[in-house]
Structure 1
């Protein structure tokens, strides 16, 4: 490790010397860039991420001086990946600079990939508001490049986090739209019932203990996909709506247990359904207080 750091520092010194020395404008920066690249590689091998990140930024600036935009964008991305190990704020900053350069070049697919990466950094820190912002940017760019699978993966993340932040209508619209798109695709149509279930759970959360919205939604979902009414997902939503209508917590719990015994409810669904159950309990307490 110490040997690699010493090598990296030597390459970095030589690169700095090139920049301050005489020479043809473009070749000076090209020569320095080659040395910075070797320095950064040595620091990476030594797992000295701070030094690697710093040198990749110097490399990116060298490429900008010699008008090599693509190489500069790649170097900023490499800096971002190095910083990701130790400093998420610096990582995001470098990836943003990479995105801006790729956008200028019209390389929207690359820009989308790095926006998605920034979103994942925020997601890992549980900063859901910022994660949504960057997943939306990534989804828009993927969509403009007709990479609809990647766009929909980002949109599902947006819907998931929006629901966690109680932005239920936003989630519903995304899940319903993805379900609609998936119906026309033989590979994706089997996932339709899952998207409609997610949308339905958000309808239950949004309903604040009322069942008009979910019953209307279930009718719409049957029109959208006539096979949906024969699924366990439809049955679950219908049973939960009935339990809410009857203000029957035991019935609500039984419906969840029955579904969970066949298809395990994930953490996201469980969290949202507990919110609905709590609403039902609150409603029951309110009515007890009135009597």
Structure 2
């Protein structure tokens, strides 16, 4: 039978309070605090079993606070991670707060791989639970830097692509282009990653066009061909060339036809559809100004 989480919490509170009185014949302060931390953890897990995430998170936080008092910072960091998991759905703001505490500990210890993983979790929290895209971008970018610093290039590239996708949707085009092209350069010499270059080039090129910079888009197309000699033969390159030409000529019908034909063979995802509509709007806006 599962233990009553509130009864465990009351026992933990009592143990923590008794430790404030200093030494007693029934155990020293250290032992009482260790007992209180253990009881808070038990209470937190019992709350979790009852699907009470906020209460579980609060109990984990109390356990972590005591673990810091008794000089167990590694345990406190791990407990803060458990608090993040408990809070995640019920109280995402609290989840972000406690996860940042754990990340701070891991960076101080020089454990950047673990810090990067949790920084990525923090970014996902900002993006998916809190809807704070700007903070999500910053958090993903920092996670990518830490992965890169730990020589985890594949993990860094995955996170940098997330930065690029979100930045583009937020109209932060220079940042998006920088990240797409950076990942492309990083992947160019990797036989397992080379097949993805055409998609990175297409996305970066679309960002140039969405920003209204046709000259930069043409220059970028030339540089992509130099980076990957197979790129000109791909549908992605042909699409990019065709939309640049359609924008040059102010022909929104040609633009729509080109995109439709590409979509018949390679289904456009939501990101590409959104961004290509922005590019088409640049043609329509120019027509309105003419």
The counterpart of 2:96, out of the listed 92, 100, 124, is 92
Task: Report the equivalent of 2:142.
Answer: 137
1:82 paired residue among 82, 86, 92 = 86
| Distance in 2 of aligned mates of 1:157 and 1:9 | 42
Q: Distance in 2 between matches of 1:137 and 1:82?
A: 24
* Residue 109 of structure 1, aligned match among 113, 125, 128: 113
Displacement of 1:25:
3.2
Shift of 1:26: 2.5
Q: Distance in 2 between matches of 1:65 and 1:136?
A: 33
Deviations 1:35-89 (A, max 9, x none): 1111111100000112101100011011111211111001111111111111111
Cα distance in structure 2, aligned partners of 1:148 and 1:29? 43
Q: Which residue of 2 aligns with 1:263?
A: 266
1:249 is matched with 252
Within 5 A, what are the aligned runs for 1:157-168?
157-168=162-173
* Residue in structure 1 matching 2:227, options 217, 224, 234: 224
Of residues 30, 34, 56 in structure 2, which corresponds to 1:30? Answer: 34
Displacement of 1:126 = 2.9
Select which of 9, 12, 25 maps to 2:9: 12
Aligned position for 2:288: 285
- Give the secondary-structure state (helix, strand or coil) at the position aligned to 1:86: coil
Match of 1:181 among 177, 180, 186: 186
Query: What's the counterpart of residue 155 of structure 2?
Result: 150
Structure 2 gap segments, 5+ residues each:
19-23
Query: What RMSD, in angstroms, separates the aligned Cα atoms of the two structures?
Result: 1.4
SS at match of 1:157: helix
Cα offset, 1:245, TM superposition:
1.2
Q: Work out which of the residue numbers 62, 65, 72 in structure 1 matches 2:66.
A: 62
Determine the C-alpha separation between the residues in 2 that align with 1:238 and 1:156.
Answer: 23
Secondary structure of the residue aligned to 1:85 is coil
Between the aligned partners of 1:255 and 1:117, the Cα distance in structure 2 is 39
Matches of 1:217 and 1:100 in 2, distance apart? 39
Task: Supply the distance in 1 between the matched residues of 2:108 and 2:29 (Cα, whole angstroms).
Answer: 24
Distance 2:127 2:119 in 1: 12
Deviation at 1:153, TM superposition (A): 1.4
Counterpart-to-counterpart distance in 1, 2:109 and 2:28: 26
Q: Which moved more, 1:193-202 or 1:149-158?
A: 149-158
Secondary structure of 1:67's match?
coil
When the two structures are aligned, how many residues end up with a matched partner?
Answer: 282
Matches within 5 A, 1:32-47: 32-47=36-51
TM-score (norm 1): 0.93
Aligned to 2:218: 215
Post-superposition CA distance 1:90-147 (Å, at most 9, x none):
1111111111111222221221112111110111133210101111121111111111
- How far apart in 1 are the matches of 2:270 and 2:132? 18
Distance 1:266 1:132 in 2: 21
